[in-house]
């Protein structure tokens, strides 16, 4: 995370309004290290979503460091996008086609940034790179507790879906920040081959 933080910090400039979603450890370390080791002044917009509200953890750390912050929920994203200069997101996994598996809602954030021409940088360690490609977000997803979304008796005629992750297409990602540097999302497959030269498995394995 420290190497990722160093590489990503180069993209932060004075006056930036940085938007992030949830509480990615890599993004948290990036922001903390930039604050601790540089004199750059920036503002952070923390976007969060129910039911986990993980962004509150990041918000607490940033406020402790005396960073100017704004906290909003995902459904208010369009209200702040005009202010944003850069988006930093975390990743649970990086697919070989450059798409990103991350906390559900990440794709919405990346899409909104793309629509406004705001660069989206995804922070993730190279060990998270997979030789697989996902075409959608359902088949290999994980489900959270339905009671976290809707409490009480669900009943036979109601199905509550609490997805934990989503898939962000590579065209919504401006760059992938790893401990080895920053690369275009389309170059993830090349990096994967360099890391595993003996791996003959197809990058499109299911």
Q: Report the pLDDT value the prediction gives residue 151, as an integer from 0 to 100.
A: 86
Question: Which pLDDT score, from 0 to 100, does residue 189 have?
Answer: 76
Beta strands in 50-169 (DSSP E): 69-73, 86-90, 93-94, 100-103, 120-123, 165-168
Instruction: Please calculate the CA angle 77-85-51 and round it to the nearest 5 degrees.
Output: 30
What's the pLDDT at 197? 61
Q: What is the pLDDT of residue 198?
A: 59
Domains in the chain: ranges and CATH: 2-195 (3.40.50.10470)
Contact 201, 105 (CB under 8 A): no
Average pLDDT per 10 consecutive residues for the chain, totaling 206 residues: 92 98 96 94 97 96 94 97 98 93 97 98 93 68 88 84 93 96 89 68 35
Rounded to an integer, what distance in angstroms lies between the CA atom of residue 186 and that of residue 62?
Answer: 32
Residue 170 in tokens: 């590579």
CA 170 to chain centre: 12
What pTM did the predictor assign?
Answer: 0.90
pLDDT value of position 204: 32
């Amino acid at each position: 995370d420290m190497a990722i933080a160093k590489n990503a910090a180069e993209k932060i400039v004075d006056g930036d309004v940085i938007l992030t979603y949830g509480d990615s450890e890599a993004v948290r370390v990036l922001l903390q290290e930039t604050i601790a080791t540089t004199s750059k002044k920036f503002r952070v917009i923390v976007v969060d979503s129910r039911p986990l509200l993980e962004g509150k953890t990041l918000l607490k750390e940033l406020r402790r460091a005396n960073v100017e912050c704004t906290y909003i929920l995902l459904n208010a994203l369009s209200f702040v996008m005009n202010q944003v200069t850069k988006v930093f997101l975390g990743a649970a996994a990086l697919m070989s086609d450059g798409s990103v598996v991350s906390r559900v809602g990440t794709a919405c954030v990346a899409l909104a940034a793309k629509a406004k021409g705001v660069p989206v940088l995804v922070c993730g360690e190279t060990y998270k790179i997979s030789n697989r490609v996902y075409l959608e977000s359902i088949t290999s997803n994980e489900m959270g507790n339905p009671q976290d979304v809707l409490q009480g008796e669900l009943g036979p005629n109601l199905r509550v879906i609490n997805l934990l992750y989503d898939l962000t297409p590579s065209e919504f990602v401006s760059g992938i920040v790893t401990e080895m540097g920053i690369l275009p999302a389309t170059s993830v497959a090349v990096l994967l081959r360099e890391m595993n030269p003996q791996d003959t498995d197809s990058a499109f394995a299911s």
